Amino acid sequence: MFSYRHAFHAGNHADVLKHTVLIAALQHLTQKDTALTVFDTHAGAGLYRLDSEFTETSGEAADGVQRLFDVQGLEPALQEYLDLVASFNTGGSHKVYPGSPFISQRLLREQDRLKLFELHPTDTRTLKANIAQLDAGRQIAVLQEDGFEGVKKFLPPPSKRALLLCDPSYELKSDYGRVLDMIGDSLKRFPTGVYAVWYPIIPRPEAHDMPRRLKALATKAGKSWLHAALTVKSSKISLAATGGQRPGLPASGMFLINPPFTVKTALQKALPQMAQLLAQDRNASHLLESGG
């Protein structure tokens, strides 16, 4: 269960979608003075080198964030994402990529809190070392435990304001069910929280059922929802067409329950541009829908 390492995928098209949505949500939520708690159930290592052996082996950042570096006229939400990534680099280089823990921390204020869950022993050590450099004191807690279960004891948070980001690897088929169970339980414990779920769009029934089942959870709880999906290529690429290499992730989605209303507005412009700039074949497309 510890084979997945996000370092192989850092900065790919799924990260572009996920982190653009995360930034848009946090920018809205931090406008109110009341303290905010951010929960990251699968935090990873926090910071990644785009020139590392991991990322250069996969090459996924080249078809993700690296396609955006020299583009002029980006839509505001994409530009804000790119500016935040650039802020972790100096001298115009693009070697460091921030994961969701560091993106969140950069946008939080003194009164806010960040709770990071990571079960992978190597990534937990790296995450703790990276976080230690921030000298953030009690603002950030790194917990080496199962985020699906660990988050329960913190809901609802003292300030009654929170964003929960859940983006497991889904290498274990059981992750799909665990995501749904956790969101259902969290909505009962803390109905007003903002819940953001990333999921891969792959030829697997559980993946295709995910947005439908999340909609059902939101509807049952009487909550609004927002669903954004980005497809960069066909899901029917054969191994022969890729020279025997695994074809990689064709698409992914972000599903939000209780989304800040500004996120949809931001994505209405940014998502079509994202699909255009990150397209790998003529099957590239995007989806944005909402309800509740």
Catalytic residue at 15?
no
| Alpha carbon separation from 121 to 86, 103, 104 (Å, rounded) | 29, 22, 22
Nearest to 107 by CA among 28, 220, 201, 6: 28
CB neighbour class for 188 (10 Å; exposed up to 12, middle 13-18, buried from 19):
exposed
DSSP strands (E only) in 3-103: 37-40, 47-49, 96-98
CA distance 63 to 156: 39
Catalytic residue among 40, 63, 112, 167: 167
Q: What is the DSSP secondary structure assignment for residue 151, as one 8-state letter? A: G
The DSSP letter of residue 113 is E
Nearest to 58 by CA among 95, 14, 96, 10: 10
CA gap 82, 166 in Å, rounded: 22
- At 175, the amino acid letter reads D
Residue 142, φ and ψ in degrees, nearest 5: -105, 120
Distance, CA of 267 to CA of 63 (rounded, Å):
20
Q: Catalytic site residues?
A: 167
